[in-house]
Structure 1
Amino acid sequence: MDDEDGYFGEDVAATYDESVADMFRPEVVDPAVDVLAELAGDGRALELGVGTGRIALPLARRGVPVHGIDMSRAMAARLRAKPGGDAIGVTIGDFATTRVAGTFAVAYLVFNTINNLTTQDAQVACFRNVAAHLGPGGCFVVEVGVPDLRRLPLGQNAVPFHISPTRWAFDTYNVATQAMSSNYVTIVDGRAEYSSIPFRYVWPAELDLMAQLAGLRLRDRWDGWTRASFTHESHKHVSVWEKPAD
């Protein structure tokens, strides 16, 4: 692991887009960009964990000025190398605490990135940091999975999510601390390589309380970017909290 870039150093950045290729499909990206562009209106957008620009680049092509915060210089370099990447300002730093100049109409965290903050204190700080960046009436949008603990029988702490002849992947959960990790075993030239990334899973109601502490209020919660209803069967949610106009 590159200490400077956290868990997303050059070794990860070099193949990141290919490793999550399904997330770059237009049917995945376009609905998210539609929502964010609508919320941004004539204002600016702030992406926390901007990565290689999966959402930032198409959002900027819609005419929305986008600024990103990311810990990884390697991921930011991949963004800048893409067509249009030079139009996306990127500040290197921890998105829970890093401040950038100006105010924004919308800030957003997609693809479970809120879970990269591995303590409750850091997640609370993130909401407060976002609230400080938003103008009156601005919105904070988070896309994150609902913890899949119903798949855990008593005494088990691991859930597989990918199995193939060359790659095994599984999540582990600690239900006492809400710590989790995604673990990967990859077979390369007949040898197994192991990697693990820590996360902290978080419940919708817990996020609402974090928002309240930051002075934000829940505006919408959907099953996904198509704005389908969120129910007890939903596996993820897209939530929108608003900074009061007054």
Structure 2
Amino acid sequence: MLGRMRRKSSEPPLAQAHGSAAGPPRWPVEAWERGDLLADGPEYVASCLAPAFHEEPETRTIRDGHALNRIVAVAKTDGSRSPAMANVVNELLAEPRYAALDSLYSWLAGVYTGTDRQLEVIEQGLRTCLRKYCLLDLAGTAMLQRERGAEALYYWAHSVVNAESIGEGRDATAYDFLIVVAHEARQRDAAKRFRARADQADSPQTILDEEYTDLVKKAFRKPTKAMKTVLQELAHRIPS
């Protein structure tokens, strides 16, 4: 299921050194407004696979007996998409010990799901946080919710590439989406490798919930050759 916990991996990362960036990033707000990312050729494949978002490991956590406790308390009383949640997360981000912490930006983006502000928050996190692969996953999900398949695959591809670059590939929940996308694109070998990387059985009953599965089917009902190439290349790059 989406958002499930996974075990940490001790496997070596991809050959790419963490923190490297070889191409210009496409920021979520611009990608949404311009709508000119076309999955129709080698340029699209290169844009998905060439590192573009500077990635570094993050040692801080909100599971410190303070931050997460405040977040959970507000979620129980006011809801995870409430103004109160936004206030609490912004207060935490203002504290030096939590500044530019990606997990807090993930909570804040959730408050604004389906709005332009959601993309703005994700972009702010991508521009300031050390660790980015979780936010890239959220960017892909936000594009999926807007039925932008080309952009969704772009961000999921960068999410898993970045996660692998710092040895955290098994924690990349973007693989959940890639499994379903590969299935829709009839890329069986890629789907199998994504399943293995995500610690999924060969034929699990559920990968994503019904809502997200339907969104993937709609956005990728006619996958292009370039999309299939991206899936194949991502699968090929997974450490054996």
Q: Give the alignment's TM-score, normalised by structure 2.
A: 0.30
Larger helix percent: 2
Which has more strand, going by share of residues? Answer: 1
The normalised TM-score by structure 1 is: 0.29
